Amino acid sequence: MLDERLFEIASTDEQHPLTELKAKGVAEALKRQDMFDEIEVKPRTRQQSYFKQNPHLTPNPVIRTEATFLDGRVVVVVGDLTRLDVDAIVNAANSTLLGGGGVDGAIHRAGGPAILAACQEIRRTQYPQGLPTGEAVITTAGNLPARYVIHTVGPIYGHHDGQEAQLLKACYQNSLALASQHGLTSIAFPAISTGAFGYPQAEAAQAASEVIKSSILTDDQIREVRLVFFQLRSAEIFFGVSEICWQE
């Protein structure tokens, strides 16, 4: 009996698209492992792609605007922070400033060695003991489309004696102040601390909304704040808790 199955092989990296030749190579490898007797590779157009139609299912390079608040000064998007063409993107770093996983890893990978070199210089001259939680510093963005990276260290949830919300707010406030001092007008944030540092997304959304709203209402320099969520689900959680805050 013929057991027919349909698979889609896709690349989510636009810099390295999957060619028909590469897809045939993958298919041959599966066949060699005796997983299938016959494999037929059919190219699909970009528009037909399942992943293109459901971009939130993959680490998504495509930026989709989800909503705006405060007359467009705050924009919520789902996508990859490192692709954004803004004056500054904010890095959810750790106190060493020497890189890590998550957003931090993605920024250093995409931005190249100039960012690490600038961070090492900051460690040497300003923060030999490391950047304290809640503080922010600014460096080049290397090869990224953004002009600068602002590095801040979010709180590790449960490690700061109940001061987590205050420290998380300090991250946003100090990053915005630094951008403003440098004459920047657009800045994009990831959901600081909600990955490796374990901050519950809803609680983080509440703190971030409050501090961003009060900061930009008292400072006209920053014209656009983008809040970037990697997954659509995270943006939905953000809307769930923050909508009231923005309407007030």
Q: How far is the CB of 34 from ligand AR6 (least distance, A)?
A: 37
> 23 or 136: whose CB is closer to ligand AR6?
136
Q: How far is the CB of 48 from ligand AR6 (least distance, A)?
A: 26
| DSSP calls for the chain | -------------TTSPPPHHHHHHHHHHHHHTTS-S--------GGG-HHHHSGGGS---S-EEEEEETTTTEEEEES-GGG--SSEEEEEE-TT-S--SHHHHHHHHHH-HHHHHHHHHHHHHT-TT-PPTT-EEEEE-TTSSSSEEEEEEPPPTTSSTT-HHHHHHHHHHHHHHHHHHTT--EEEE--TTSSTT---HHHHHHHHHHHHHHHHHT-SS--EEEEEESSHHHHHHHHHHHHHHHH-
> 88 or 103: whose CB is closer to ligand AR6?
103
Is 104 annotated as catalytic?
Answer: yes
> 26 or 203: whose CB is closer to ligand AR6?
203
> 92 or 165: whose CB is closer to ligand AR6?
92
Summarize as ranges the residues that interact with ligand AR6 (CB under 6 A).
80-82, 92-94, 100-104, 106, 154, 190-197, 228, 230, 234
Q: How far is the CB of 192 from ligand AR6 (least distance, A)?
A: 5
Considering the candidates 85, 104, 161, 219, report the single residue annotated as catalytic. 104
Q: How far is the CB of 154 from ligand AR6 (least distance, A)?
A: 4
Active site residues: 104
